[in-house]
Structure 1
């Protein structure tokens, strides 16, 4: 299972450009002080990310519990969940490389829930304290995202609520480098994480890992 944690972390890291696009605006906002001065406010930034990763972990726990219930119902057929998870990793690699956008359709499904949650985020803006930052992060963790949904399939396949939560927590930690370097002003690192070369290399690694996982799962079936 440790390999799943590492894979989830790498998925978060590989999606640097996507994470910056989705959450970069809020991260930039949190680097400002209460008075509006442009300076780094790590307490708010870390609280926001803690709230966001906590929501990922909760979603992972729910997914893992769902997989556990499915395993009790379908028995050995649970291996098909691993097949689906492997396929999603391949699709994620294609998505990150911008070679296929099938995951956009999956994101569209999550938009139905998001339209009800998003209005609550306005209650925490402008962010002036840690509680508001935690609340905003907790809500933003449910933003429709192909990276999140792809990783959630691994939580389902784990068939365990704790492992599901830890997989998503590992994913959340993987997203931190891009967002923290953006907030800290390390333009070189942020630019590297968003570069075409980095994106293509990580996409190829994800596709290769997804293909390997798919092969192993199919061998267990047949």
Structure 2
């Protein structure tokens, strides 16, 4: 879901050196991903604080367990649907449209951001574009927000989502710096491969959500951290 926005601002930055991205371009990409990571951490802290309020209230653990299960099913299904979209079409538009209502929401948010890309992409305010990722309707970040709520701690929630931002930093940084040098055919092939990975990864929150609702199902044994209890 992040690809179109990254492609959009990367096109504005351009490259000043035929041998690769210029120092200025690398700085802009770093600022963008830095803003994105800070945004994730901030939302994670907020979600953790919300979870803390629920836990401290007492008597709502059963409801929280139900909400966690439903959220796992919804997030897992969204990731799988997005993965199918990528694998089938090799493009993010199809992936966004594969999730009911997500394509329209994604278009609305990116449409508003487009109005500021030309002004912000070439200066320090590109970090604001990165921070906007925390508000993008991306099914891949939703499980992270659910996890942050489950920590019931603003500190742990911020740390978890900050780690997610840092973990995805190299991939989006590399994508932004190389997008102009990669052909459309190669990008489609990469998107299809990522789609398969999304389908596999999406089965994890889906299976955990179903188990929380009382319907345990087999799941792919991936090295995932346990959800806080």
Q: TM-score range by the shorter chain?
A: 0.5 to 0.7
User: Which of 167, 176, 200 is 2:169 aligned to?
Assistant: 176
TM-score normalised by the chain length of structure 1: 0.67
Question: Does residue 164 of the first structure (1) align with residue 147 of the second (2)?
Answer: no
Q: Which residue does 1:51 correspond to in 2?
A: 35
TM-score normalised by the chain length of structure 2: 0.65
User: Partners in 1 of 2:113 and 2:211 — Cα distance?
Assistant: 40
Q: Which residue does 1:202 correspond to in 2?
A: 198
User: Partners in 1 of 2:135 and 2:55 — Cα distance?
Assistant: 26
User: Which of 14, 17, 21 is 1:39 aligned to?
Assistant: 21
Q: Which residue does 2:138 correspond to in 1?
A: 145
User: Partners in 2 of 1:147 and 1:183 — Cα distance?
Assistant: 19
Q: Which residue does 2:84 correspond to in 1?
A: 97
1:11-160 mapped onto 2 (5 Å cutoff): 18-32=1-15, 39-40=21-22, 41-73=25-57, 74-77=59-62, 78-87=64-73, 88-98=75-85, 103-105=99-101, 114=109, 118=113, 121=116, 124-128=119-123, 131-160=124-153
Higher helix share goes to which structure?
A: 1
How many matched pairs? 196
User: 59-68 or 176-185, which moves further after superposition?
Assistant: 176-185
- Unaligned 5+ residue runs, structure 2? 89-94, 216-229
Alpha-carbon distance, 1:50 to partner: 0.3
User: Partners in 2 of 1:61 and 1:31 — Cα distance?
Assistant: 35
Contact kept, 8 Å, 1:61 with 1:160, in 2: the verdict is yes
Alpha-carbon distance, 1:215 to partner: 4.7
Contact kept, 8 Å, 1:178 with 1:193, in 2: the verdict is no
RMSD of equivalent CA atoms? 3.8
User: Partners in 2 of 1:159 and 1:102 — Cα distance?
Assistant: 32
User: 86-95 or 21-30, which moves further after superposition?
Assistant: 21-30
